Each structure stands twice: as structure tokens, then as C-alpha cells.
């Protein structure tokens, strides 16, 4: 089984972004960028499947500006076999990314696409599901455990009430949740090796995909601020305040 | 203009979130219809018919809707969607699963997890873990929108809409639900609870988490948790509050032994009153807390439970 793992370059999860004064977006100048954490989990799972002899090749793919090469190199350093960059400076919305990935799937013919459940920048949680729809494949989102057996996958997924187990036949799109695994760190020797692994670059036009954005962002604003609170000295004061001031108990 | 809201339910009852989605749909400007797809779902359909603002309930009752599998839901909703200006669902695990599928099949964008409706084509949604709010406009003929429940009131149960059976869509046979392991609890549902007590890594173990449970029970509250508490196995996954867990906005949120990472704050900072108990005076949770208590939770939490 060949696995395609889409990876996105996003603002690092430790960074608290600031909204630009002109409200056109968030300020990304000099901000640390990393691989989307859910995509790291997806890469790890694909590598685990390969190490367990269930997968033959792991191909990482990213869509975005040239800087996404870094993200792909991270995936290669973790252990992916090769990488594909669909290079564009255009704003990419989830539907466009799903269309690009569909075109890559048609070129590469993987049996499994393992994506992250959501990107922590736009928090859209759409691409995996959209890709599955465009390919007319099964999808299993929010995976916390994957067992591969021949042409079938048994996947445990995190749902609002607990867990559920779903069986799908390949080909399928899976999206990774937090507890699927703990991603490995790339070691220095593997980072060096990754520099020599193949990284192909394509353009959206090569794939015949129109990536023009659909949604128009009219403004990006600061969230409403909470007014400052107070510190209480002990439990008795807390209880008193909750009763007489906040009136919530 | 009219909106189709896809109900989420367990066949007998609606799940929290659906009635908030109805409120959001009503703000989009037209008639509101609700689709209930399930197996033996007359109970849920009757409940949907009572929601204020709903003018019709459509029911697709068939065995292949039992597990709310996204492939089958999308195959049902997509052809129906063409008759509506808006397709709306709660941004729950189910809604997040099938709605993007519907959007892609319609070749339209999805607007995820809106918290406000500015006009029929313009919506506000949090991005970057709620550190920014984007106002986005959709030019698509059908707007596919998921709704964050905390942004909208629940619709009142004062209506009496007609219920109409519709033909089921195809069984795509793409996926099979083997089973569910649902967390059983007599406590209120986390996303709909008026009070929530959440515990973090500071609790140290599943046994110690009983301190949080005792406090929650005294308050009639739901139990929440940070990712660290879930990852450490103190509580099940469905308790996780945050950017990538559940979004809550109760009247009272008590955070115990939780540091207040951006990802956690994203899920609770719209709570009306926030209380934080943490031994570290520098913990970021205190920046959003209305009442902060610096202290050892092993002493303060039992004391608080006793004093209530
Ligand atoms: C992609 C991604 C998604 C994430 N999604 C979420 C999410 O949805 N929700 C979420 O919560 N996190 C999420 N996280 C994790 C988040 O970044 C933090 O790691 C997590 O919230 C920390 O949990 P915590 O506050 O319980 O643990 P810690 O940060 O370790 O804090 C423990 C706190 O307990 C206090 N403490 C310890 N002992 C005591 C005591 N005896 N008495 C009083 N206080 C004590 C400490 O002072 C400390 O402040 C995500 C992370 C990533 C990368």
C-alpha cells in the first residue's frame, strides 16, 4: 500500500498570533512556522504502517509557497520516502487544496491518504473530507487507532460521546486526531539524509486545477477581550464572591 | 431563500447543538427546514418540529442512517441541498464529518464553525485558536455552514412544524460502523452544561480526578479536561475542552490544575464566569480568570466542595 500524507506549513502552535492593525489578517512576519501538528501525527502513522510492513511507500505532499519545502524536508527527515510540492503563492482555501490533492492522487495512485484532522491556523477541518468526496472514497475522520489488514482498515475514532470503530475498504482518506500516536523527532543524521531525498515541484496549472479562493475575507479582528479578574486569598473568599458578586452558585 | 438544517440526534432525541444551528439558520434570512436522517427517528423528528422558527421537518428513515456515516449522509443531503440557499449543521464530530463532503460534492466552500451571522452571505468565524475572528463572505449559490453552538442561543420549543417523510438516499456501502464505546455519565452533557469543572495535568492521576468529580457533583456540573489530562488517561477523550476538543461557554467554568495553554483557552474563554485554581501564580489561566486562587488543589478543591 502506498500512502500519501498531505502536510501544511502553519504558524507554530506555541505562537500567539496578532491581528494586523489594518484588520486584513494576522501578522506572520518573523513568526516561527512549523508543520501542522496533526500532519506530524499523520506522517508518524504512515511511517509506522510502513515499518510494520503494511505500507510500501510514504509520499508527503504540500501545497503553498516555496517555503513549504522546509515542511516537506521535515516529513522526509522523519522518514517519508519522497515529497511533492504544489507550488503557488496564491491564497489556498480548503476546497482548492482538496482539488490539488485529488489531482496528485490521480497521478500517484496511493491506496490511502492520511491527513491531519485540522490545520491549527484556519481551523477549518475540511480538506480530508472534501478530498474523500471528490475521489468518491470512504473517509474516517478523527482517527485515534488504525489497524490495517489486507485491503481493509479498522479505525477507532474520537467522537463527541466517546469512541467508535469503523471499518472501511481501501482506498480511503483518514484524518488523524491527537491520540493516534506521538510523532518522532527527526534526528540530525536523518535531517542530513532528507536533503538528498527526491522533492518534486508542480504548479496548480500542471494539474489543471483552478485554485481561485471562494470565500472573501472582509476583515480579521481581535477577539473580544475579557475584563480583568481578581485574585482571592482563600476558598472562603472564593465561595463568598461566587455567591454574592458573580451570583453563579 | 431557505435553509436546510441537518439535525443531529440519537433517533429518540436531538443532540445539543441542533437547536443552536436552527437559531443561526433563522438569522440567514429565509425559511428553515430541518432534515432528520436516522433509523426509527420519529422521536427526534417530533422534537425538531417543536423548535421555534422551523417551518418543515423532513425525515429520511432507513437502516443505513443508523450510524450517521458521512458517506451516506452526504449522499442524501447533496441533492436536497440544491433546493436551498443554505445548508447548516452543528460543528460537532458528526457535522464536521459529513458537511465538507457535501460542500465538495456541490463544488462550494464550507464556512466552518461560525459564531455570528452578519448577513445571508457573511459570517464570523474564529481562526488561530480563537485569537482572531475572520468575517468571510461566500459568493456560492449554496452556502454550506457549520455552527459553533456557543455563538447562538438554543431555539425555544414553541413551534409546531409539519413533519414530512422523504425518500432515503443510497446506501453507499463505503464504511461499516462496528461499534461505539460511549462514555456513560449521569452528569450533564459537557457542551450544553451550565456549569463545568475541568481538571488538568495537575491532578496527577485518574484516582485524584475524583476530587474534580466530587466538586462537579456538588455543583451539578459537567466534567471537562485539558488535553494533558486526557492524554494521561485521567478521563476519556470526550472530556477534552479546547481548540481541537469541545467548545464550551457555561455560566461557571472552574479550571483545576490547568495551566491555560492557548489551545485550552480556545475552548472555554467565552464562559461567563471563570475560576482558576493553580499553584503557579504565573499560570496563563489566571489572565482569563474572573476569580483566581493560587494554591494546592489537593487542599483547595476538597475544601471548596465542602463549603458549597
Ligand atoms: C495540535 C494541538 C492541539 C491541542 N489541543 C488542545 C485542546 O483542545 N485542549 C487542551 O486543553 N490542550 C490542547 N493542546 C495542548 C496544550 O498545548 C497544553 O499542552 C495542554 O492544554 C496542557 O494541559 P494542562 O494545563 O493540564 O497541563 P500543564 O500545562 O502541564 O499544566 C498543569 C498545571 O497544573 C498546575 N498544578 C500542578 N500541580 C498542582 C497542584 N498540586 N495544585 C494546583 N495546581 C497544580 C501547574 O502549576 C500547571 O499550571 C493541544 C496541543 C497541540 C499541539
> Measured between alpha carbons, how far is B263 from B198 in angstroms, rounded to an integer?
14
Question: What are residue A15's phi and psi, to 5 degrees?
Answer: -85, 130
Give the gap in angstroms from C-alpha B124 to the nearest C-alpha of chain A.
Answer: 9
Chain A residue with minimal CA distance to B227? A178
| Cell numbers for B150 | 456557543
A:134-193 residues touching chain B, CB 8 A cutoff? 134, 137-142, 144, 154, 158-169, 177-179
- Cβ B229 under 6 angstroms from ligand 1: yes
* pLDDT tens digits along B40-55: 999 999 999 999 999 9
Instruction: Report pLDDT for A98.
Output: 99
User: Binning pLDDT at 50, 70 and 90, where does residue A228 land?
Assistant: confident
Residue among B93, B126, B202 to mutate when testing ligand 1 (max atoms within 8 A of CB) = B202
DSSP letters spanning chain B: -EEEEEP-B-SSSBPTTHHHHHHHHHTTSSEEEEEEEESS-HHHHHHHHTSTTEEEEEEEE-GGGTT--HHHHHHHHHHHHTT-SEEEEESSHHHHHHHHHHHHHHT--EEEEESEEEETTEEEEEEGGGTEEEEEE--SSSEEEEE-GGGSPPPPS-----EEE---------EEEEEEEEPP-SSPPGGG-SEEEEE-GGG-STTTTHHHHHHHHHHTPEEEE-HHHHHTTSS-GGGBBSTTSB----SEEEEES----HHHHTTTTT-SEEEEEES-TT-GGGGT-SEEEES-HHHHHHHHHHH-
* Region of poorest pLDDT, from A17-21, A110-114, A221-225, B197-201: A221-225
Q: A170 lies in a domain?
A: yes
| ipTM of the complex in this document | 0.98
A107 and A29 Cβ atoms separated by less than 8 Å: no
Average pLDDT, chain A: 97
What is the arithmetic mean of pLDDT over B7-33?
97
- Cβ B161 under 6 angstroms from ligand 1: no
Cα distances from A120 to residues A15, A33, B174, B244, B263, in angstroms, run 11, 11, 29, 9, 9
Does the pLDDT of residue A96 top 90, yes or no? yes
Instruction: Report pLDDT for B196.
Output: 98
Contact with chain B for residue A117, Cβ under 8 A: yes
Mutation target for B interface from A28, A235, A244: give the one with most B CBs within 10 A: A235
List of chain A residues whose C-beta atoms are within 8 Å of the C-beta of residue B219: 249
* pLDDT tens digits along B120-140: 999 999 999 999 999 999 999
* Host domain of residue A164: 2-244
Contact with chain B for residue A31, Cβ under 8 A: no
Ligand 1 atom having least distance to the Cα of B259 = 49
- Cβ B240 under 6 angstroms from ligand 1: yes
Domain of residue A153, CATH code: 3.40.50.620
> Measured between alpha carbons, how far is A234 from A240 in angstroms, rounded to an integer?
10
* pLDDT tens digits along B235-287: 999 999 999 999 999 999 999 999 999 999 999 999 999 999 999 999 999 99
Mutation target for B interface from A126, A176, A179, A180: give the one with most B CBs within 10 A: A126
List of chain B residues whose C-beta atoms are within 8 Å of the C-beta of residue A120: 128-129, 243-244
Q: How many domains does chain A have?
A: 1
Q: A249 lies in a domain?
A: no
Alpha carbon nearest to ligand 1 atom 18, residue: B261
Mutation target for A interface from B95, B131, B256: give the one with most A CBs within 10 A: B131
Whether B136 and A216 lie within 8 Å, measured CB to CB: yes
Three-class SS state of A166: strand
* pLDDT tens digits along B183-223: 999 999 999 999 999 999 999 999 999 999 999 999 999 99
> Measured between alpha carbons, how far is A160 from B93 in angstroms, rounded to an integer?
6
Ligand 1 centre distance from Cα of residue B258 (Å) = 5
A:223-242 residues touching chain B, CB 8 A cutoff? 223, 226, 229-232, 234-236, 238-239, 241-242
> Measured between alpha carbons, how far is B34 from B80 in angstroms, rounded to an integer?
12
* pLDDT tens digits along A44-90: 999 999 999 999 999 999 999 999 999 999 999 999 999 999 999 99
Q: A202 lies in a domain?
A: yes
Whether A162 and B238 lie within 8 Å, measured CB to CB: yes
**Residue B29 burial class via C-beta count within 10 angstroms: exposed 0-12, middle 13-18, buried 19 and up:** middle
Q: A238 lies in a domain?
A: yes
Instruction: Report pLDDT for A227.
Output: 84
Amino acid at each position: 500500500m502506498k500512502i500519501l500524507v498531505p502536510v501544511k506549513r502553519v504558524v507554530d502552535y506555541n505562537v500567539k498570533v496578532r491581528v494586523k492593525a489594518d484588520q486584513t489578517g494576522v501578522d506572520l512576519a518573523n513568526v516561527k512556522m512549523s508543520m501542522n501538528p496533526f500532519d506530524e501525527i499523520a506522517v508518524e502513522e504512515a511511517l509506522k504502517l510502513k515499518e510494520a510492513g503494511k505500507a510500501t511507500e510514504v509520499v508527503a505532499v504540500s501545497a503553498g509557497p516555496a517555503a513549504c519545502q522546509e515542511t516537506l524536508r521535515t516529513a522526509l527527515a522523519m522518514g517519508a520516502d519522497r515529497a511533492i510540492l504544489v507550488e503557488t503563492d496564491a491564497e489556498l482555501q480548503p476546497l482548492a487544496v482538496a482539488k490539488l490533492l485529488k489531482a496528485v492522487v490521480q497521478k500517484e495512485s496511493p491506496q490511502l491518504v492520511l491527513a491531519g484532522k485540522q490545520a491549527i491556523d484556519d481551523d477549518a477541518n475540511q480538506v480530508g473530507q472534501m478530498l474523500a468526496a471528490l475521489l468518491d472514497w470512504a473517509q474516517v475522520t478523527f482517527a485515534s487507532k488504525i489497524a490495517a489488514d489486507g485491503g481493509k482498515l479498522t479505525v477507532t475514532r474520537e467522537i463527541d460521546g466517546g469512541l467508535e470503530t469503523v471499518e472501511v475498504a481501501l482506498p480511503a482518506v483518514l484524518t488523524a486526531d491527537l491520540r493516534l500516536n506521538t510523532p518522532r523527532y527527526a534526528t540530525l543524521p536523518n535531517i542530513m539524509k532528507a536533503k538528498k531525498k527526491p522533492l518534486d515541484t508542480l504548479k496548480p496549472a500542471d494539474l489543471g486545477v483552478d485554485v481561485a479562493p471562494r470565500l472573501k475575507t472582509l476583515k480579521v479582528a481581535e477577539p473580544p477581550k475579557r475584563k480583568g479578574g481578581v485574585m482571592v486569598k482563600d476558598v472562603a473568599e472564593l465561595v463568598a464572591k461566587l455567591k454574592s458578586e458573580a451570583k453563579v452558585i | 431563500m431557505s435553509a436546510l438544517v441537518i439535525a443531529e440526534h440519537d433517533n429518540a432525541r436531538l443532540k445539543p447543538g441542533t437547536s443552536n444551528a436552527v437559531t443561526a439558520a433563522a438569522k440567514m434570512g429565509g425559511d428553515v427546514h430541518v432534515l432528520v436522517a436516522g433509523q426509527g427517528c420519529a422521536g427526534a423528528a417530533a422534537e425538531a418540529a417543536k423548535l421555534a422558527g422551523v417551518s418543515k421537518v423532513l425525515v429520511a428513515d432507513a437502516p443505513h442512517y443508523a450510524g450517521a456515516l458521512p458517506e451516506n449522509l452526504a449522499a442524501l443531503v447533496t441533492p436536497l441541498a440544491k433546493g436551498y440557499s443554505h445548508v447548516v449543521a452543528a460543528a460537532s464530530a458528526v457535522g464536521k464529518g459529513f458537511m465538507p463532503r457535501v460542500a465538495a460534492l456541490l463544488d462550494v466552500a464550507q464556512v466552518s464553525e461560525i459564531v455570528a451571522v452578519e448577513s445571508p452571505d457573511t459570517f464570523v468565524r474564529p481562526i488561530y485558536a480563537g485569537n482572531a475572528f475572520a468575517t468571510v463572505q461566500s459568493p456560492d449559490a449554496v452556502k454550506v455552514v457549520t455552527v459553533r453552538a456557543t455563538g447562538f442561543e438554543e431555539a425555544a420549543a414553541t413551534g409546531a412544524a409539519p413533519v414530512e417523510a422523504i425518500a432515503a438516499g443510497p446506501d453507499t456501502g463505503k464504511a461499516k460502523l462496528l461499534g461505539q464505546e460511549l462514555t456513560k455519565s449521569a452528569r450533564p452533557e459537557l457542551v450544553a452544561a451550565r456549569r463545568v469543572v475541568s481538571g488538568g495535568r495537575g491532578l496527577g492521576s485518574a484516582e485524584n480526578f475524583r476530587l474534580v468529580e466530587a466538586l462537579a457533583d456538588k455543583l451539578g456540573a459537567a466534567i471537562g479536561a485539558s488535553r494533558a489530562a486526557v492524554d494521561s488517561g485521567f478521563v476519556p477523550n470526550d472530556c477534552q475542552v479546547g481548540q481541537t476538543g469541545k467548545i464550551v461557554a457555561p455560566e461557571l467554568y472552574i479550571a483545576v490544575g490547568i495551566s491555560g495553554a492557548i489551545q485550552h483557552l480556545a475552548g472555554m474563554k467565552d464562559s461567563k464566569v471563570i475560576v482558576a485554581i493553580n499553584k503557579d501564580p504565573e499560570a496563563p489561566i489566571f489572565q482569563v480568570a474572573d476569580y483566581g486562587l493560587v494554591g494546592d488543589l489537593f487542599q483547595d478543591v476538597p475544601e471548596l466542595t465542602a463549603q458549597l
